[in-house]
Amino acid sequence: MSKLIRFGVSMNEQLLEKFDQQIVKKGYSNRSEAVRDLIRNQLVQLEWEDENQEVAGTVTLVYDHHVRGLTNVLMEIQHDFHNLVLSTMHVHLDHYNCLEVLVIKGKASDTRKLAEKLISIKGVKHGQLSITSTGKNLD
C-alpha cells in the first residue's frame, strides 16, 4: 500500500457546506473518502479520453425483441466485437421488452464504437454506456 499524504484545500464556506451535506447523504464517513472518489472519477474520465487506453464498462440496452431481425443484428455486432465483450446478461422484462447488459473491456475508442453501434440500431428503445476503469491506474 502506498504512503498517505495529507494536504489542505481552501474553498468558499458555502461550497464546503454543500459538499458536507452531500457526503452525509451518500454515507461517507469523512471528507477524505469523498475527495478520493471525486479524484478517481476524474481519473476514469481521463482514461476514456485517451483513445488507446484500456478501459472497462457496460453497455445497457432495452429493446423490443419482436422487432424483426433486431436480435440477429445485435448478436452480429457482438460477434464482430467479440474481443471486447467479456460477458452478457439478457433479461426478459415483459412479453415485449428485453434488457441486455454487456460487460466490455478494450481500447477506449473501440469500446465506445461498439456502444454507439449497438445503441443506434433501429428498435433499441434505450441504450447507455457506463464507463469505468480496469483499476490499473487508480492506485
How many whole angstroms separate alpha carbon 110 and alpha carbon 116?
10
pTM: 0.87
How many whole angstroms separate alpha carbon 112 and alpha carbon 40?
20
- Do 86 and 126 fall within a single domain? yes
pLDDT digits (tens, 9 = 90+) for 90-119: 999 999 999 999 999 999 999 999 999 999
- Do 43 and 60 fall within a single domain? no
Number of compact structural domains in the chain? 2
Which residue in the block uniquely carries the three cell numbers 490499473? Answer: 136
- Do 82 and 22 fall within a single domain? no
Quote the domain boundaries for residue 117: 54-132
- Do 45 and 72 fall within a single domain? no
- Do 87 and 29 fall within a single domain? no
- Do 25 and 90 fall within a single domain? no
Confidence bin at 17 (pLDDT 50/70/90): very high
Average pLDDT value for residue range 20-28: 96
Evaluate whether residue 120 is within a structural domain.
yes
Closest CA to 89 of 54, 61, 48: 61
Evaluate whether residue 3 is within a structural domain.
no
Residue 74 burial by Cβ neighbours in a 10 Å radius (0-12, 13-18, 19+): buried
How many whole angstroms separate alpha carbon 50 and alpha carbon 78?
23
Evaluate whether residue 139 is within a structural domain.
no
pLDDT digits (tens, 9 = 90+) for 40-86: 999 999 999 999 999 999 999 999 999 999 999 999 999 999 999 99
| Residues recorded for the chain | 139
Q: What pLDDT, on the 0 to 100 scale, is given for residue 2?
A: 76
- Do 37 and 63 fall within a single domain? no
How many whole angstroms separate alpha carbon 117 and alpha carbon 87?
17
Q: What pLDDT, on the 0 to 100 scale, is given for residue 4?
A: 87
Q: What pLDDT, on the 0 to 100 scale, is given for residue 35?
A: 95
